[in-house]
Amino acid sequence: MITSVTMLLAAGVLLSGCQLTLFSPRYNQQASRWMGVLFFGFAFTLIHTSLEGQALLIDNTALQIVFEIPVFVIAPALYLAIMAFTTANYQASRRDLVHFIPLAIFGIGLVIGLQHLLPEQLLPPNGSRWIGLFVMAFIRAQALVYWILSFRRLTKYRRTLKVYSADVTTTDLAWVQWFLIAIAAAIVLWIVTWLFHSSWLEDFVPFGYLIVAMTVTYFGITQRELFPYSQKHRDEIQSLNNPSPDAVTSLRLSDDEIEANKARVEELMAKKKLFLDPDLSLPRMAEEAGLSTHALSYLLNTGFGENFYAFVNRYRVEEAKYLLTTRIKTLSMLGIAYEAGFRSKTTFNNAFKKHTGLSPSQYVANGEGNSEAASPA
């Protein structure tokens, strides 16, 4: 009894998350909707598990179909949600339907089997049993494969993030990593309970599912906006992450052009102090410099030998060094970080130590700023 109630409670949590992410997403709407589909499939799978062996399910063919099919939605919906989270210009398309081919095949087969539309003589001895085992193994293998693809996609996204963002604390999708860890825990529970049967395992698993349900729902409804840019800038960011050979060739500049553009960018940073804006992005800076996003990225890498993240934070560190010398008595470390353009103290500390070899506190304690009181601008 407790086991069934716990499973249904976990399903209820997921259905609540489904409603919030599927029908009223505040941010990342495409990704949120796929996440809502994931929650829906997960919830119905838990409800199905809690009803197994009960007459309500055994005697109702239509209900069996309703509860069997959603399990094939979970893995594709997970992958498509991660795709949408990590793709600046993501739009759902007909190509996404490819991921649901197993769902269509299984759905047709389930209807045929439950309605007894296939003559028994066409099946080999124990055919239904072997088909059932194959399907159960397939859906678990499908979950593992799609989880691996999702994790690889997240890893690739986090590697390219510093190309266009100067602060990755709100866009590095660390929460998605924890989300995937929770999903991995659910997959492990799902596989273990299929392979092994024991009373203590049956008592523990429902509580495991409840914890997973609460975790993934929490992350799903507390997500932040990842690409607060115009559609044009989103397209440019995506093309930066997946550049075509022709685009790379067309960006090559002569030495004179590189030097002229370097001087323009340096003057812009000195006079307008764009680095003080914590929301500064590569597209925004490109507009200020009168360059395309691609051209500015190429210039930073070729002319300065830095990506956007390193370039902007170098200026912020110089500003922080000046503030540590002149305003350390009136501002806290966090205040100095914010004044220098950093969004978080963690990013401030990491960038400062990378550029100076010291933490901000060590820099002040060693009196390193006494001879550097002039503003970097």
pLDDT at 132 over 90: no
Confidence of residue 3 (pLDDT cuts 50, 70, 90): confident
| Percent of the chain's residues with pLDDT above 90 | 46
Together in a domain, 206 and 171: yes
Residue 101 within any structural domain of the chain:
yes
Residue 96 within any structural domain of the chain:
yes
Measured CA to CA, the distance from residue 70 to residue 293 in angstroms comes to 42
Residue 289 is encoded by which pair of tokens? 């410099």
Q: Which of 221, 255, 272 is the last residue of a domain?
A: 221
Determine the average pLDDT of the residues in 127-147: 87
Together in a domain, 285 and 161: no
Together in a domain, 205 and 290: no
Residue 326 is encoded by which pair of tokens? 């002149």
| CA-CA-CA-CA dihedral for 235, 316, 176, 244, to nearest 10 | 30
Q: Report which DSSP code applies to 89.
A: T
* Beta-strand runs (E) in the chain: none
- Residue 317's domain is classified under what CATH number? 1.10.10.60
Residue 236 within any structural domain of the chain:
no
| Percent of the chain's residues with pLDDT above 70 | 89
The least confident of 172-186, 237-251, 310-324, 326-340 is: 237-251
Largest CA distance in the chain: 92
pLDDT at 5 over 70: yes
277 by Cβ neighbours in 10 Å (0-12 / 13-18 / 19+) ranks as: middle
Into how many domains does the chain fold? Answer: 2
Together in a domain, 162 and 270: no
C-alpha distances out from residue 74 to 24, 34, 52, 143, 370, Å: 20, 10, 19, 8, 59
Together in a domain, 200 and 71: yes
pLDDT value at residue 273: 93
Together in a domain, 43 and 165: yes
Together in a domain, 206 and 324: no
**Tens digits of residue pLDDT in 78-117:** 999 999 999 888 888 899 999 999 999 888 877 776 655 5
Together in a domain, 105 and 181: yes
Together in a domain, 261 and 296: yes
**Tens digits of residue pLDDT in 239-282:** 887 765 555 445 566 778 888 999 999 999 999 999 999 888 89
Measured CA to CA, the distance from residue 372 to residue 318 in angstroms comes to 10
Determine the average pLDDT of the residues in 27-40: 91
The answer to whether the beta carbons of residues 79 and 99 sit under 8 Å apart is yes
Range of the domain at 86: 2-221
**Average pLDDT over all residues of the chain:** 85
Together in a domain, 208 and 273: no
pLDDT value at residue 24: 76
Residue 230 within any structural domain of the chain:
no
Determine the average pLDDT of the residues in 127-150: 88
